[in-house]
Structure 1
């Protein structure tokens, strides 16, 4: 821990004291106590780590947590100092007894409190949700920041997003794009990925922005750069081309089940129409990749429906119900749109169907399968160009 309480009740942060004072405190055997359990703690002021306090027996403290190392401690301290320089009311490692949680930083504003968690190590999904729900129960806004060591960039606009990282994606307001925030204490900068849209289960498109600690303000973390729809769709086309042409070996899980189901329809991946594997902002709500559930709607709904006949949104939802996460899986995302409705909007704008009511769609035309890979790639290219003209994402 970075802070402890002196015998006269004052909070002391060792890392903010000069070396001479630290040595003086150690030599005088001045006692310090944990702010939570009130047990005596010891000073750690070696040359290789940030000066800090430590329990002699961690299991005695209800707030004791596995440490995340020097990287985490440096980052937490830098963020604390950065917020203080802006004149913000911020507390370091403030324990909240009602929920038995101690955020790295607690920000106080006139109309709200924000708990900042700087997370550098992987922790169980249930722990993330429990800590997030704890803050929400207290009316505190949770704000998770990942250590930059957890970022996995695959190309300028594509990132690997594992199940752990997916849980820490934020949407600050219903109108905001999906965003994840990283911080690097070594480079002293934030990196944010905005407009996150999953092209498969562990792969997402987004627009990155760097915010140097020296020039950035706290409010800058909630501003959003432009990501033109044309640029986004051009990146998606590359992802779609990868989907068409990448060799798939050692398939397992949902991907193997889907491939076997596709073969049972007498269809190869190369034959799928271009309306399969389109970007849907709320893709994160599904346990399978876009091509999986979108192809199921194509074969089980669109292909079986005769031109002029209708189908319902509820019918589509029944087919895909097993593939959805529960509604409370992503508490950091403020608006959870229906991905099926978002996908059917493509069908509507491409004049494949006509929406007659909030629930009912009428089929207007057939969408055939492709016969060759070259034909499919050309069709994908033409569809992306059409979506760009229509400004659809």
Structure 2
């Protein structure tokens, strides 16, 4: 018939026959079109990102190798290329000086640079949190011999130099000279806020710590004093008080005080003397036989005690414990010949001053040391 069209079934049979002639399995065309490319399980974008990251890490490792070869360094650990911004780091040691540890850093934006971890500049970099801290990656190597700065190194977010270290050393040395104290250890300039400290001893053996920071200047803390012990117990300059902003000031008959960044530590002679006498009496197992006297010469304290263990009919031994800030707490047996001699010499206000030791006895006799001399009592007297 003119104008007639083939039936739907005839068209379908023709299509199926064509597919069979081409060798294609019937019924699979739609599934194949929906499947992802067989070369990627994650997709092209993730594969590309992974390939790019691997390429950056490879570039970083190569840069560190070249830098290490240039500086004559040998590795002490493996590469770490998971730093911010695709950076890499590896630690090394020079063959000629194995005690030094040098970290080589690389990032795409800064290149490869060395940080001497044992150097003051490197220690400050470490204390600030390495490359993740306030300074970021190094952008130069360490440069030394710079007038006014000592050594200096540049980083992404600033520079670290030794200008504060030089200033701290000079300030501590000048303060120590004024106080006439002797150095007991080296300078430590790794404190918070770019501070420095050094320990000293006085001619009498007291321990003095001199602190310096640009904000507070150089101030001394007597670590043997109650104020110094309170400062130490509060974890020194890192604790609740911060750096000292004045030296210790004492008033006769009153006490001492010292100002710090975040408060003042006070000390009264009465309180300190009472605590020292009680502690000494407890150690010697003595019973109180009188009240506290804390208005003695040099702001000292005294209390009388009775020794336990006296036999029936025997008088109890009388022991006086003396304390002063400079001598500490010591007992004098007032029933003993040494104590009687001490009493005849007008006690702490007389020719001997405060006791500085306990009484020591042997087969040859007894002796006790005082501020201004020694009382000896031969055996048999």
TM-score, normalising length from structure 2?
Answer: 0.30
Query: Which structure has the bigger radius of gyration?
Result: 2
More helix by share: 1
Q: Which has the higher contact order (CA 8 A, sep 6+)?
A: 1
TM-score (norm 1): 0.29
Structure with the larger strand share: 2
